[in-house]
Structure 1
Amino acid sequence: MNQGFLQLFRIPETRQRIMRTLGILLCYRVGFQVPIPGMDPQFLVRQDENALFGLMSALSGGAIGQTAVFALGIMPFISASIIFSMLTKISPTLEAVAKEGAAGQKKINQWTRLAVVPIAILQAVFIYTGVFLRNPQMVSDTMRGNPVGLGVLVIASLVTGALLVMWLGELITEYGVGNGASLIIMAGIIARMPISMSQLIGTEEFWQTMLYMSGIWAVTVFVVVFMHKGARRIPIQYARLTRGRRVYGGQRHYLPLKVNMAGVMPIIFASVIFIVPSVLFQWLGWTYLRDVFNDQTGFAYVTIYLALVFFFCFFWNRLMFQPEEIAKNLREHGSFIPGIRPGARTAEYLGNTLTRITLAGAAFLAVIAVLPAFVTEGTGMTNDMRYFLGGTSVLIVVGVALELVDKLNSQLVMRNYEGFMKSGGPGWTKTGDGK
Structure 2
Amino acid sequence: MSAIESIAKNSDLRKRILFTLALLAIYRVGVHVPTPGVDGNAVLSFFQAQNNGIFGLFNTFTGGALSQFSIFALGIMPYISSSIIFQLLTSAIPYLEALKKEGEAGRRKINQYTRYATVALAIIQGYGISTWLMNSTSPQGQPLVIAPVVAFLPFQIMTIITLTAGTCFIMWLGEQITERGIGNGTSLIIFTGIAAAIPHGAQQLWELMRSGEMRFAVILGLIIFMVAIIAAVIYMEVAQRRITVQYSQRQGGGGMQSMQTPSSHLPIKINFSGVIPPIFASSLLMFPATMAQFVNVPWLKALQDSLNPSGTIFNILFVLLIVFFSFFYTEIVFNPNDVADNLKKYGGFVPGIRAGKTTADYIQRVLERVNVLGCIYLCTICILPGLLTSQLNVPFHFGGTSLLILVGVALDTAQQIQSHMITQKYEGFLKGAKIRSRRVQF
For this structure pair, what is the TM-score category when the shorter chain's length is used for normalisation? 0.7 to 0.9
User: Pairwise mapping of residues 170-185 of structure 1 onto structure 2 (< 5 A)?
Assistant: 170-185=175-190
| Relative contact order, higher structure (CA 8 A, sep 6+) | 1
- Structure 1: tracts of 5 or more residues without a match: 418-435
**Alpha-carbon distance, 1:337 to partner:** 1.4
Provide Cα deviations, 1:138-194, integer angstroms capped at 9, x if missing partner.
545332799980000111100000001001111111111100011110100011233
**Alpha-carbon distance, 1:243 to partner:** 5.2
Larger Rg: 2
Residue 274 of structure 2 aligns to a residue in which SS?
coil
Residue 72 of structure 1 aligns to a residue in which SS?
coil
Task: Give the direction of change, closer, same or farther, for the CA distance of 1:65–1:130 in structure 2 (3 Å limit).
Answer: farther
Of 232-241 and 368-377, deviating more is 368-377
Residue 68 of structure 2 aligns to a residue in which SS?
coil
C-alpha contact (below 8 Å) 2:310/2:390 kept by paired residues: no
- Structure 2: tracts of 5 or more residues without a match: 427-442
**Alpha-carbon distance, 1:107 to partner:** 1.4
Task: Give the direction of change, closer, same or farther, for the CA distance of 1:88–1:196 in structure 2 (3 Å limit).
Answer: same
**TM-score relative to the length of structure 1:** 0.87
Q: 2:422 aligns with which of 407, 413, 428?
A: 413
Matched, 1:19 2:24: no
Q: 1:162 aligns with which of 137, 160, 167?
A: 167
Aligned match of 2:440: none
**1:239 & 1:128 partners in 2: Cα distance?**
64
Q: 1:256 aligns with which of 254, 267, 272?
A: 267
Matched, 1:100 2:108: no
Paired positions, count: 411
Amino acid at match of 1:91: I
Residue 232 of structure 1 aligns to a residue in which SS?
strand
Q: 2:121 aligns with which of 87, 107, 119?
A: 119
Matched, 1:394 2:417: no
Q: CA RMSD for the aligned pairs?
A: 2.6
Aligned match of 2:384: 371
**TM-score relative to the length of structure 2:** 0.86
User: Pairwise mapping of residues 29-428 of structure 1 onto structure 2 (< 5 A)?
Assistant: 29-42=28-41, 47-48=47-48, 49-50=50-51, 51-59=53-61, 61=63, 63-131=65-133, 133-135=135-137, 137=142, 139-143=144-148, 149-199=154-204, 201=207, 203-205=211-213, 208=216, 210-242=219-251, 250-280=261-291, 283-286=296-299, 287-298=301-312, 300-382=313-395, 385-386=396-397, 389-416=398-425
**2:168 & 2:215 partners in 1: Cα distance?**
41
C-alpha contact (below 8 Å) 1:43/1:67 kept by paired residues: no
Provide Cα deviations, 1:340-396, integer angstroms capped at 9, x if missing partner.
1121111111111110000110011111111332133254532xx22xx12211111
**1:129 & 1:409 partners in 2: Cα distance?**
47
Percent pairwise identity? 37
**2:17 & 2:311 partners in 1: Cα distance?**
42
Amino acid at match of 1:313: S
**2:187 & 2:108 partners in 1: Cα distance?**
20
Task: Give the direction of change, closer, same or farther, for the CA distance of 1:351–1:416 in structure 2 (3 Å limit).
Answer: same
**2:137 & 2:332 partners in 1: Cα distance?**
41
**Alpha-carbon distance, 1:94 to partner:** 1.0
C-alpha contact (below 8 Å) 1:32/1:44 kept by paired residues: no
Aligned match of 1:5: 4
C-alpha contact (below 8 Å) 1:237/1:335 kept by paired residues: yes
Task: Give the direction of change, closer, same or farther, for the CA distance of 1:331–1:61 in structure 2 (3 Å limit).
Answer: farther
Amino acid at match of 2:290: V
**1:366 & 1:55 partners in 2: Cα distance?**
17
